[in-house]
Amino acid sequence: MVAARLQARRVAIDSPWPDVRLGLAFIGDPQGVGLTRAKATARRKHQSAGARNLAIELLRGMDIAVEEIPRGAEGGPLWPNGIVGSLSHTDGYAAASLARSGDCRGIGIDVEPALPLPGETGELVLGEQERDWVNSVEVRLPAAGRMIFCAKECVHKVVHPLTRTWLDFLDVRVVFEPDLIRFSVQPLSDAAIAAFADARVRGYCLQVEKHCLSVLRFD
């Protein structure tokens, strides 16, 4: 079944790597769908369709014509042969990242509102050194905790398709460069060390239209 095409406004973003395609789009909320719990399923379907349609556009820009991005058994996207990629969506925005498997092993993307993390979420997501960093920069960068959360979501989206490993937030440490854009990921647990073996890992985080957009690549 072909996903319905949605009205979307593409947001101009530059990929940090010439062999990786990135897309971000404002998709809004479906007409008549508000914030009530009863409408949550419709909203999620709208957001998921927006992300998949964005990926279809990116694939066509790579001369790969597809009509849909099917779901695998666990609900994740099934990419055409020779393609690795990732999808993300939040209220109003959808994102996609794609690369050829000959150029990188995996790619992950996540988009989140550029807001501080709720305290209880921060306790689950941030290790001690990460909390110290957030405390040191949050006056000038209120979304610092969210940036780390976004980066760790990217880790899951890369690692699980590659290794079938489920990592917890505290299995890795995210370290941002002084430019507050580039970041690295340090494996801490045995499972993370095994998943990161022989991999070159690079991360990049932008703040655009009051949202954090993070992308992580495994080479």
Task: State how far the Cα of 61 lies from the Cα of 63, in Å rounded to an integer.
Answer: 5
pLDDT at 28: 86
pLDDT tens column, 114-131: 999 998 999 999 999 999
- Residue pair 24/11 in contact (Cβ under 8 Å)? The answer is yes
Instruction: Find the mean pLDDT for residues 169-173.
Output: 98
Helix (H, G, I), strand (E, B) or coil at 112: strand
Looking at this protein, which amino acid is placed at residue 36? T
Among the listed residues 62, 106, 61, the one whose alpha carbon sits nearest the alpha carbon of residue 86: 106
Looking at this protein, which amino acid is placed at residue 13? I
- 22-36, 79-93, 98-112, 164-178: least confidently modelled range: 22-36
Helix (H, G, I), strand (E, B) or coil at 14: coil
Task: State how far the Cα of 62 lies from the Cα of 77, in Å rounded to an integer.
Answer: 18
pLDDT tens column, 14-60: 999 999 999 999 998 765 555 555 477 888 888 999 999 999 999 99
Helix (H, G, I), strand (E, B) or coil at 193: helix
Flag whether pLDDT at 95 surpasses 80: yes
pLDDT bracket for residue 5 (50, 70, 90)? low
pLDDT bracket for residue 67 (50, 70, 90)? very high
pLDDT at 35: 53
Residue 159: enclosing H or E segment and its boundaries?
helix 144-163
- 26-35, 131-140, 207-216: least confidently modelled range: 26-35
Among the listed residues 213, 9, 216, the one whose alpha carbon sits nearest the alpha carbon of residue 113: 213
- Residue pair 15/24 in contact (Cβ under 8 Å)? The answer is no
pLDDT at 43: 82
pLDDT bracket for residue 1 (50, 70, 90)? very low
